[in-house]
Amino acid sequence: MAVEKQLEELEMVTVKFAGDSGDGIQITGDQFGNTTAIAGNDFSTFPDFPSEIRAPLGTTYGVSSYQIQFASKDIYTPGDTPDVLVCFNPAALKVNMGTVNKGGIIVVNEDEFVEKNLKKAGFESNPLDPNDTTLQDFRVHKIPITTLTLKALEDMKDFGHADKLRCKNFLALGVVSWLFQRPLEPIEKFLKKKFGKKPPILEANTRVLHAGYNMCDTMEIFPIMYKIPPAKLEPGTYRNINGALATSYGLLAAAEKIELPIVYAGYPITPASEVLHTLAALKQFDVAAIQTEDEIAAVTMALGASYGGSLGITGSSGPGIALKIEAINLAVMTELPLIIFNFMRSGISTGMPTKTEQGDLAMALFGRPSDSHLIVLAPESASDCFWISIEAVRLATKYMTPVMVLSEGFLINASEPWKLPDLDTIPEMKASFRTDPKDYLPYKRNKDTLARDWVRIGTKGLEHTIGGLEKINETGEISQDPENHDLMTRIRAEKVERVQNDIPDLEVLGDKDADLLLVGWGSSIGSMRASAEVIAKSGKKVAIINLRYLNPFPKNLEEILRSYKKVAVVELNLGQLNMIIRSKFMIDTSFLGRVTGQPISVVEMVDFINNELDLLKEH
């Protein structure tokens, strides 16, 4: 954002709200996102919060934030660094000021910058002091948000002081809305819906919203206001969606298509719980959403449902996924269509539970005893979670195999505009349950897919027993025959390989005729796309592929890889996909991996690409 040039019209802007967990940061961000959507911009959001429920007021570790990038063009990431930072207290400033773009705008709630709070945040002196140089690179706007909020509500005698204070985020929202010339109606609508039954709260919030907006109009706090013209999005009806909703809706859509009820069993864990919550509230779609005693019960309950003939689904994050491994191997052995969502979070053990990472790919592929194969998929964006859910159901039921979806904490919480899908475009799928007892053998396989028959337990004449012991191919009788075990191990691998015939070829994104190909998956694709645009602007070229299918790989992957001078793998881990690509295709890749708990920044990726391009030139 070229603030220093005082432009009225901008192509893209990143705004960040930050404050105490109790300051209503997430609501403020969400509402600003909504107005942005309605203004027709493309956008992408990044809610980021501490793992404490309500960390003590004013501490740096208690800071919650919400970043949003919006633009008059397609956008792929929530932005690296904010152009505008709105801080509700010194701690929020302390944590975030380092990231604000030079020349960027910082709006602070002046009222909070008192001795006690400054100390808590670790400031030696008051950065708002005229003589203080801490913020000299920014355009700082001090607004006494608290005072103004109380002022605006002065005459609401029956409305408590604490309640009044709780409205101050809407004053800030009014200010920012003015700055970007956003209409207030969508926010008013939201307030009406949320507080319709509590008139004083509705009244108070609406008032301070307008107060913030009007104040800017009158007082010329900002020398200028900005306009980000609508993006040229594909025509259609849009809504704002995050990954949790998209995942759930995708499952419902698939279940409706395949005409099966859902049994989703989960044990709460950040960030996976969101999907369990969503589905628990959508029981009318034939969903049994069950909170179990632990993750082992969750995966096995889902497996029991798959065995019975329903869509058995479970979801968790790192520590919980680890607990499901033994049962997943039972699903691989019994060849049942179990779907496992892994909403990856940051770090080993408890790590950084509210932060994101792509650390579980190697575990998804190899993290089970013995040679155990399943399908692995990864959505690239919040809205792609919808389609990945559908694909997971389609493949699991068609190939009678577990599917693991590697989703991410970041995608679950992030939101973006989503063009409502035409439900008729959802791929056909059918659960063709066996009913004919004639020549039925539990492990007899479909010639193409190698899938065994799915049987609705209870069907007359198909009584049989399955289990975790090795069994003879076709008959399914238990057996310790050496060659049979070798055969079955290879068949189980082959079955997953066959899925290659059933998935689309990769498309090269970015500049097809570049020398450098970036390979990535999941949320990194957003950063890669954004970086590719930056690179293109500088007259250079980079191509991109997105591995939504991580096991098996699409058929044309090898051909694509081999058609570039250099291949570089990008992911939020220390090199898991990279290892597989190197070993499988013997291609000496470059690698960019970061584990900071956050999406990879476009700046960092652009640097990396430039560096790779320079190296290519040298050779």
The residues that touch ligand SF4, with contacts defined as CB under 6 A, are 53-54
Kindly state the tokens that stand for 434.
């066996």
Contact pick of 104, 351, 520, 522 for its own copies (by CB under 8 A):
351
533 near 576, Cβ under 8 Å?
no
Pairing of strands 543-546, 509-510: antiparallel
Residue 373 zone, left/alpha/beta (φ > 0; ψ -120 to 50; rest): beta
Contact pick of 4, 52, 371, 474 for another protein (by CB under 8 A):
52
Contact pick of 130, 369, 458, 539 for its own copies (by CB under 8 A):
369
CB neighbour class for 183 (10 Å; exposed up to 12, middle 13-18, buried from 19) = exposed
Give 56 or 236: the residue with its C-beta nearer to ligand TPP.
56
In the complex, the smallest distance separating the C-beta of residue 271 from ligand SF4, rounded to whole angstroms, is: 17
* CA 366 – CA 379 distance, rounded (Å): 20
In the complex, the smallest distance separating the C-beta of residue 434 from another protein, rounded to whole angstroms, is: 13
Q: How many CB atoms lie within 10 A of CB 161?
A: 9
Considering only residues 298 to 357 of the shown chain, the ones binding another protein according to CB under 8 A are: 298, 300-310, 312, 319, 326-327, 330, 334, 349-350
H or E stretch including 141?
A: strand 139-143
* CA 333 – CA 401 distance, rounded (Å): 9
In 3D, which of 196, 85, 105, 208 has the Cα closest to residue 154? 208
| Number of chain positions touching another protein (CB under 8 A) | 98
* CA 585 – CA 581 distance, rounded (Å): 6
Give 1 or 364: the residue with its C-beta nearer to its own copies.
364
Kindly state the tokens that stand for 258.
């395949």
480 binds its own copies (CB under 8 A): yes
Spatial CB neighbours of 119, under 8 Å, sequence gap ≥ 6: none
Considering only residues 33 to 92 of the shown chain, the ones binding its own copies according to CB under 8 A are: 50-51, 61
Interaction partner, residue 428 (its own copies, ligand SF4, ligand TPP, none; CB < 5-8 Å by kind): none
Give 15 or 38: the residue with its C-beta nearer to another protein.
38
36 near 43, Cβ under 8 Å?
yes
| Number of chain positions touching its own copies (CB under 8 A) | 69
Considering only residues 446 to 475 of the shown chain, the ones binding its own copies according to CB under 8 A are: 467-470
Radius of gyration for the alpha carbons in the chain, expressed in angstroms and rounded? 27
Q: What type of residue sits at position 586?
A: M
Considering only residues 456 to 515 of the shown chain, the ones binding another protein according to CB under 8 A are: 456-469, 477-478
* CA 78 – CA 67 distance, rounded (Å): 6
Give 55 or 175: the residue with its C-beta nearer to its own copies.
55
Give 59 or 77: the residue with its C-beta nearer to another protein.
59
Tell the residue number behind the tokens 């690239």, with chain if given.
380
Interaction partner, residue 365 (its own copies, ligand SF4, another protein, none; CB < 5-8 Å by kind): its own copies
In the complex, the smallest distance separating the C-beta of residue 479 from its own copies, rounded to whole angstroms, is: 8
The residue ranges that bind its own copies (CB under 8 A) are 50-51, 61, 317-319, 321-323, 325-326, 329-330, 332-334, 344, 346-352, 354-355, 357, 359-360, 362-363, 365-372, 467-470, 479-480, 482-483, 485-486, 489-490, 492-493, 573-574, 576, 578-580, 582-584, 586, 588, 594-598
